[in-house]
Amino acid sequence: MYEIKVRSNFSAAHNLREYHGKCENLHGHNWNIEAIFAYRSLSKSGMAVDFKEAKSLLESVLEKFDHSYLNEIEAFEKLNPTSENMAKLIYDRIKKNNRCIASVSVWENENSCATYKER
């Protein structure tokens, strides 16, 4: 199995509903997102997928989040904008265009991340 990993980032604000602590207040993060794609074989050129293509898929999803208030994005009007929910949402949106997505990790700082994967 071959794994291709790409990373991107965006800046956004959010606040957590149903949470009692500092994160219930409006605050922001410089989010780092990591997407891993898994392939059983390589193309004739010796690649699983072009890094440019994989990064483009990731960035096409993230552009809607950059410099936004996540709670006002339609997907998060009812769904809490936690790192866990963001990881699944990003995964699902990438999967619509590439079924080889294996996992998505959402880092809200250098020490804390949530990962979603189906396999």
108 is catalytic: yes
Select which of 14, 29, 34, 108 is catalytic. 108
Select which of 27, 63, 67, 72 is catalytic. 67
Select which of 3, 23, 24, 118 is catalytic. 23
67 is catalytic: yes
113 is catalytic: no
* HSE-CB of 6 using CA atoms within 13 angstroms: 18
Active site residues: 23, 67, 108
